[in-house]
Structure 1
Amino acid sequence: MQNKVTVIGAGLAGCEAAWQLAERGIPVVLHEMKPEKKTPAHHADDFAELVCSNSLRSNELTNAAGLLKEELRRLGGLVIACADQTQVEAGGALAVDREAFARLVTEKIRNHPNIEIVPGEVTELPEEGHVIVATGPLTSDALFDAIHRKVGGEFLHFFDAAAPIVTFESIDMDNAYFASRYDKGTADYINCPLSREEFDPFWEALTTAEEAEVHGFEDKLVFEGCMPIEVNARRGHDTLLFGILKPIGLPDPKTGRDPYAVLQLRRDNAQGTLYNLVGCQTHLKWGEQKRIFSMIPALKNAEFVRYGVMHRNTFLDSPRLLDHNFALRADPRIRFAGQMTGVEGYVESNASGWLAGVATACEILGKPAPDLPSTTAIGALGNYVSNETVVKFQPMNINFGILEPLGYKVKGKREKNKQISERALEIIDSLKGEF
């Protein structure tokens, strides 16, 4: 069919794009190379695999990530709906049972009558028809080369990392306690305290541990939000105490006082049998990970079901290549979506897939394309990615800094952010029937 759309990649962006098209009556051919071929970061066969954290970050409207999720909810986003249905307790954050989440997204996509699944690797960009490329930051070499031939110029890249996961039954709860994440939400996190005498050798081990070889790795090329714990540790003795292992507001019930340092563990599945080490993304060798994290008293006998890994993420120089609806300026029938566009994070990738899918559908149906303003989170992302005045483009999470200011002063950061979110949602509610 002339209006059939090719979507390449069944991650968070590709699944969302395919769903939005299919829901508008447009047939989709969705290509996914798993399970025939996997990248170094992938483990499962299902679509929408969460390869790093199982958290989609804050659900609160005083947080930009919370606003972005709420916009997608109101606009009929598939991925957020599935996340809401498979969430696990995580205080004020939206965290999911990653296996149940991916399974649900996969079932929805496979059962949609307007979506045809074609397994196997895509090595060339289709020469005709509408195309959405959502192959992620670990695009296969052959397709990478095809994209490079199409867009010309140079790709940019950075390194990303995932944290280890341990079993709940192997955590020594005599040396740990449940509490919220810094007094936000309910007591859903396992807190693993360290004294000064326990922290110092742990820090020393981190800074001197043997790292796995990652081709071309340099600390300066790591995205700040996914900085390996050992890289953070090398910045100074106290760096972790003000970041990943910050103890403030997490008093140990045994003493009634904040410990010297605290590592938090977040539930990774609905059953509560698996927990991930929050903020402990790493590229240490696996044996070193076992040795060093076992120095934390609560993890002295921990069973690691997945070790941390690190991989190279590739992304486009999008301000030179894409418009605000993620269309390739030189060939608008092709759109890109997901982390390869330079949006950083699960929900941001999902939002780009929503926008690319809806914009393509509008074009096919003869409707005006979405023109979401920067007063909305989705619009702000699209405008950031396409802003030609950005000279040194770097991946970025959604933040209130890229949304248009209110234009008047508000006392208090939380109240200001709340009003920005309320304004954005009013705009979303007024526009959602248009596309």
Structure 2
Amino acid sequence: MYRSVGLMAWKAVRALAMSMTVVSGVSGCAAVQPASRTAGAALGLDAYYTQSVGWAPCEEGKTGEWFAETLAGVECGQVRAPLDYRNVQPDGSSGAQTVLLAVARRPAAEEKTGTLLAISGGPGQTGLDLIEAAYPPEVLAHFDIVAYDPRGVGRSTPLIQCAGGLDPDLDLNADDTEALEAAERTEVAACVTDTGLDVLRHTGSDEATNDVDLLRAVLGEERINLLAYSYGTQIAAMCALRFPANYRAAILDGVVDIAERPNDMRLGQERGYQATFTRVASFCVGEYRRDGAECPLGTDPAAAEEIFQQLLRDADARPVPVRGGSPVKATDVLDASYTGLLWPSAWKPYLAALQALRHGDGTAVRRLADFQDSEGTNALTAITCTDTAGPDHRSHSQTARRRS
């Protein structure tokens, strides 16, 4: 998937190429003295921090399946990290489990001045595709762009798997609390069975933060630049707090407040989607119609929400057929909306999908609703549980917040 950088983030990313002292999103690092490559590494981690990466063209060998198409010059490799950063022997030679992070690098086109590491959202979203984002020419000229799949996700191993987990037909908006809780217990049990409890315990934001600093060192940088989206901003912020001397600039797009309570975060997120829907409605009846398209939300932005709600009621009363798939219901339309409202570049396809739905074809809505595959859903559930689990005898992970 090709993804554009948000407007404010685009300006901040461009500023990277204009000044070696700029800091956007997180402040305070410009006055910090440069760190060594292994600064912040605990005793016994040197072997991980100083490892070499066998970079090779992404289209070759086992990485040839990582991308449908590969941009010219992009290299792929794997970085080894400890499963549990707290369980490494002083000599670094313990038999502790490890993970392999799938990493892609787009070398600077001209003289290199730094590295920009992209951190994906979710939690549970793959990150390799961020190597293909529309970065400003100045950044592509002077910075290596690096993207990676977080631990447990995508091409990284071991992969979070929960076969036979949450029922895809379960109505998550239903009022049957007992049924929803039972379904979630079944899903968690499936994750434990298929992934392993030891792995699940170490897939949260705590380890993901250490992974970022490990990547910095392996990439040969004393300080690295971070570009983070949504949940990824939580990882970037935690990295800035944990390793303040090891990053130069952090650009945060869709910032997560790491001090915010989960319920407050969820409320704020839903308000954000509501505000975006209002913007999309204005776009639909304005620019979208002027370009000759038919707006599925009517001609008056004030009436757009009622038209949308009626569309949901109609879909529940009479699910809309899909070519080669299950009919679309109201929950599918909402899932498609979470995808379609997220990026301005997705607004036109989203509106076209709603219009097709009104004409009796739910195929495009189904495609948007199913955008996040089951593996991504599994990872979101597992990482969220790891972050928010109570710190009792069964869990030693750092409590964190988050998600989007």
Fold shared, TM-score > 0.5 on shorter chain: no
Instruction: Give the TM-score, by structure 2 length.
Output: 0.25
Which structure features the higher share of helix residues?
Answer: 2
TM superposition score normalised by structure 1: 0.24
